[in-house]
């Protein structure tokens, strides 16, 4: 298992994505990711664009994905993502 997360900026529904919204699992989005996501369309002006996160080893196709990037994540946040993914 790695300590890497994959972040995705997504437009529209992506019901088959094996990923979670960070706020829903209590993860703070790093400033580096927020800045990057805003450069790819994340904005309060467009609620149809949102952010998803998953574990690198769980990453796969995300319908409506605009952009993605990898970034290391603290163990406690990885555990929160893992728990949420296991509950899906």
Domain ranges of the chain: 4-87
Per-residue model confidence as pLDDT tens digits over 24-56: 999 999 999 999 999 999 999 999 999 999 999
Which residue's entry shows tokens 């996160």? 53
pLDDT average, residue stretch 14-29: 93
Average pLDDT, the chain: 94
In whole angstroms, give the CA distance from residue 30 to residue 17. Answer: 21
Phi and psi at 52, nearest 5°, equal: -125, 155
| pLDDT tens, residue by residue, 68-80 | 999 999 999 999 9
């Amino acid at each position: 298992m790695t300590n890497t997360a994959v972040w995705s900026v997504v437009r529209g529904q992506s019901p088959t994505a094996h990923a979670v919204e960070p706020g829903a699992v209590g993860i703070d989005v790093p400033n580096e990711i927020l800045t990057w996501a805003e450069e790819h369309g994340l904005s309060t002006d467009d609620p149809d664009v949102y952010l998803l996160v998953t574990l690198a080893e769980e990453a796969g196709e995300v319908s409506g994905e605009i952009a993605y990037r990898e970034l290391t994540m603290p163990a406690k946040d990885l555990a929160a993502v893992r728990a949420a993914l296991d509950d899906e």
